[in-house]
Amino acid sequence: MRLLVVEDDPDLRRQLTTALADAGYAVDAAKDGEEGHFLGDTEPYDAVVLDLGLPIIDGVSVLEKWRRAGRKMPVLILTARDRWSDKVAGFDAGADDYVAKPFHMEEVLARIRALLRRAAGHATSELSVGPVVLDTKSSRVSVDGMPVKLTSLEFRLLSYLMHHKGKVVSRTELVEHLYDQDFDRDSNTVEVFVGRLRKKLGVDVLHTIRGMGYTVTESDNAA
């Protein structure tokens, strides 16, 4: 899952970026509304953390521009605790949720998990396909109840596919959603990680659809 953080305060921006990266997300960051709008308008993010009090272009305007352009990614806005009018303006502009400053980082992480679940049509933190269970809250994976140890990138890949269970996901889409903007997109690491995941899971749920991409299903739909 790939996220964008748009926050002008350098300390808070760094804290958010670090916490989200530590939670297993690929994270890009922008320091003002202009840069944030450009990234959100040109890159495929799964969710955005957006401060409203931004320089150059304010957060509400950024969000309005995204929604007018048809950008549908979930957006969590950051607001000052005593500015209820900012919350209303944010929701009217198309925000999906908000957190008031100052906040606990765990709340931001929980709200992001909830936004990603809802966007993919899931109701709980546990995603399952056959005997494979992935818990987005604890970042743990098990097969038939037995824990499976994955690297952060292997977990990120499996998480994205399980959030989109039954859908064929192209290699290009995986690269765009698993790595930040500095990643070498010509790399063959996706194929490498798919192979490693199959071996570690040991069950037939991750399939290659030749010429199209990858999917996780409970039965073999590979062509």
Pick the CATH number of 2-120 from 1.20.1250.20, 3.40.190.10, 3.40.50.2300, 3.40.50.300: 3.40.50.2300
Per-domain residue ranges for the chain?
2-120, 126-216
**CATH entry, 126-216, from 3.30.70.100, 1.10.760.10, 1.10.10.10, 3.30.300.30:** 1.10.10.10
Q: Which two tokens stand for residue 160?
A: 């994205």
pLDDT in tens, 139-168: 899 999 999 999 888 998 999 999 999 899
Better-predicted residue by pLDDT, 81 or 103? 103
Instruction: Give yes or no on whether 2-120 and 126-216 have one common fold.
Output: no
DSSP 55-86: SSS-HHHHHHHHHHTT----EEEEEETT-HHH
Cis bond leading into 102, ω under 30°?
yes
CA torsion, points 29, 7, 42, 137, in degrees to nearest 10?
70
Instruction: Report residue 186's pLDDT band, with 50, 70 and 90 as the boundaries.
Output: low
Give CA separation, 5 vs 8, 44, 79, 144, 188, in Å.
Answer: 10, 13, 14, 36, 27
